[in-house]
Amino acid sequence: MTNQVRVRYAPSPTGHLHIGNARTALFNYLYGKHFDGKFIIRIEDTDDKRNVEGGEESQLEFLKWLGIEWDEGADIGGNYGPYRQTERLDLYNKYVKELLEKDLAYKCYMTEDELEAEREEQRANGQVPKYAGKHSNLTPEQIEQFEKEGRKPSIRMRVPAGKTYTFKDLVRDNITFESEDFGDWVIVKKNGIPTYNFAVAIDDHLMEISHVLRGEEHISNTPKQMMVYDAFGWEPPTFGHMTLILNEERKKLSKRDEHILQFIEQYRNLGYLPEALFNFITLLGWSPVGEEEIFDKQTLIEIFDPERLSTSAAIFDRHKLKWMNNEYIKAMDLDKVIDLAMPQLIKAGKLPEDMDQQKREWAEAVISLYREQLRFGAEIVELTELFFNDSLNYDEGAMDVLQEEQVPEVLQVFADKLIHLDSFNKDDIKAQIKATQKETGHRGKKLFMPIRVATTGQTHGPELPMAIELLGKEVILQRLDKVLKQLGA
Say which of 152, 255, 330, 336 is annotated catalytic: 255
The C-alpha atoms of residue 31 and residue 36 are separated, in whole angstroms, by: 9
Three-class SS state of 193: coil
Q: What is the DSSP string of 258-316?
A: SSS--BHHHHHHTT--HHHHHHHHHTSSB--SSS-----HHHHHHH--GGGB-SS-EE-
Catalytic residue status for 255: yes
The sign of the CA dihedral 286, 289, 290, 294 is negative
Residues comprising the chain, all counted: 489
Beta bridge partners of 315: 246
Q: Which helix (H) or strand (E) holds 177?
A: strand 173-178
With beta carbons less than 8 A apart as the criterion, state whether 31 and 8 touch. Answer: no
The C-alpha atoms of residue 231 and residue 176 are separated, in whole angstroms, by: 18
What lies within 8 Å, CB to CB, of 194 at 6+ separation is 46, 85, 89, 92, 96, 187, 188, 202
Question: Quick one: which of 12, 23, 4 has its CA closest to 241?
Answer: 23
Q: Which helix (H) or strand (E) holds 474?
A: helix 473-486
The C-alpha atoms of residue 204 and residue 212 are separated, in whole angstroms, by: 9
The residues annotated with a catalytic role in the active site are: 255
